[in-house]
Amino acid sequence: MLQIGPVQLASNLLLAPIAGHTDIAFRIVCREQGGVGCAYTDLLNSHAILRETTRTLDLARTNEFDQPAGMQLYGNSDDPLPEAACWAVDHGARIVDINMGCPVDKVAKKNGGSLLLRDCGNTTLLAKRIVDTVARHSGGRVPVTAKMRLGWDPEHKVAPILARQLADVGIAAVTVHGRYTVQFFSGTADWNAIGEVVEAVPSIPIIGNGDVSQPEHARDMIRTTGCAGVMIARAALRTPWLFRRAHALLTTGSVAPEPTLVDKLAVVLRHLDLTRQYDGEHRAAIRMRQHIAWYGKSMGHVKPLKEAIRLAKDFASIRLAIEAAQSAFAGSDAVYSDSGRPVAEALLRTGFEDFAKIACIDAGPE
């Protein structure tokens, strides 16, 4: 479990806010797999939230199946972040998070995200404004947290100092990605540097983030850094069952089994159906054409299925292709496919002649 201010989480494993991916359908998929303490929305622009643009309302959408929900906001001291945080509270956020770590131009060029690491004093004052405003608005029931990187570059490692300053003004928890802004996602995350933040700020939970793609990585990060929890990002896109497996390891000492290939395909189908439920068939088809490449990384040799989904003309065709793959592996306890042939033959039986011929004969890994 993990306590963040007044909010008690059932697990200390969190789904990170991932731009372009963590919509309500995907968050629910991860929650249904088990082991998720809190799941965060996509990054939310403070101005767009208050204007209630259609796209931002979609990104911020939550419901009773998506709780406790975290909403992450980005902006700077000139933006209406305190007001946007109140909007988030009114629209279902149990935790409000301030983005201080995003390195991409869309966020940083607006003086938000990682650029907040360049002026710790002003960033701390901004955090205090948000904390005080949310405390008044929510009656103290919604904590404000922050997610940051180690600093802009190795010559400006500010995370230990900034995290301590943020704790002093009421930030309830800090997530630290173990890279610098200039690294983007290259190189390796510095878990020892995350540990320095833990040592510097004993008064609030420090959550580690970076290079956690296996259950053992979550355990090792906690052992190495002393962090109170682990936030998982890109690895969740291909293995949303990672939380369940890691939570089992952390609570029982044994890793939960890897899902079978049939089980994984059931998750893919559930993701497709949830996206249709919340965004309609057209959007569901577009999203699955994009996301199947991530899922495919956990399934072995399934190129015929990926091609069938990528080139499918509509939602119904995508669903038929997934069901054909399920049929191909029905009764199997295999975790990975070592040949594209079973999927190709199943697709052939359902009329996917062209896709069935694509790279399906050789039995080697993709």
Answer whether residue 365 is part of any domain: no
Q: Which among 168, 179, 70 is positioned nearest to 127, based on CA atoms? A: 168
pLDDT of residue 346: 78
Same-domain check for residues 20 and 68: yes
Answer whether residue 299 is part of any domain: yes
Helix (H) or strand (E) holding 207: strand 206-209
Same-domain check for residues 247 and 274: no
Same-domain check for residues 237 and 272: no
> Which of 202, 234, 252 lies at the terminal end of a domain, its last residue?
252
**Please, are residues 5 and 42 in contact by the beta-carbon 8 Å criterion?**
no
Packed helices 341-349 and 315-328: angle between N→C axes, nearest 10 degrees: 130
Same-domain check for residues 282 and 193: no
pLDDT of residue 39: 98
Same-domain check for residues 180 and 42: yes
> Which of 220, 252, 284 lies at the terminal end of a domain, its last residue?
252
Same-domain check for residues 172 and 304: no
Same-domain check for residues 266 and 352: yes
- How do residues 306-351 score in pLDDT, each as one tens digit? 999 999 999 999 999 999 999 888 888 889 888 777 887 777 777 6
Same-domain check for residues 242 and 280: no
Same-domain check for residues 239 and 295: no
Answer whether residue 266 is part of any domain: yes
**Parent domain of 330:** 261-356
Answer whether residue 153 is part of any domain: yes
Same-domain check for residues 295 and 211: no
> Which of 221, 252, 283 lies at the terminal end of a domain, its last residue?
252
pLDDT at 161 over 50: yes
Same-domain check for residues 197 and 300: no
Q: Which among 109, 102, 101, 43 is positioned nearest to 73, based on CA atoms? A: 43
pLDDT of residue 259: 96
- 30 part of the active site: no
pLDDT band at 361 (very low <50, low <70, confident <90, very high): very low
- How do residues 25-40 score in pLDDT, each as one tens digit? 999 999 999 999 999 9
- How do residues 242-292 score in pLDDT, each as one tens digit? 999 999 999 999 999 999 999 999 999 999 999 999 999 999 999 999 999
Can you give the CATH number for the domain in which 45 is found?
A: 3.20.20.70
**Catalytic residue of the set 102, 120, 227, 360:** 102
Helix, strand and coil in the chain, % to nearest 5 = 50, 15, 35
Same-domain check for residues 292 and 310: yes
Answer whether residue 216 is part of any domain: yes
- How do residues 62-111 score in pLDDT, each as one tens digit? 999 999 999 999 999 999 999 999 999 999 999 999 999 877 756 655 55
Strands 2-4 and 7-9: antiparallel
- In the chain, the amino acid numbered 193 is A
Answer whether residue 215 is part of any domain: yes
Number of folded domains that form the chain: 2
- How do residues 192-234 score in pLDDT, each as one tens digit? 999 999 999 999 999 999 999 999 999 999 999 999 999 999 9
Answer whether residue 362 is part of any domain: no
Distance CA 95, CA 275 (A): 24
pLDDT at 11 over 70: yes
- The number of C-alpha atoms within 13 Å of 184 and in the hemisphere containing its C-beta is 3
The mean of the pLDDT values for the chain is: 92
Answer whether residue 128 is part of any domain: yes
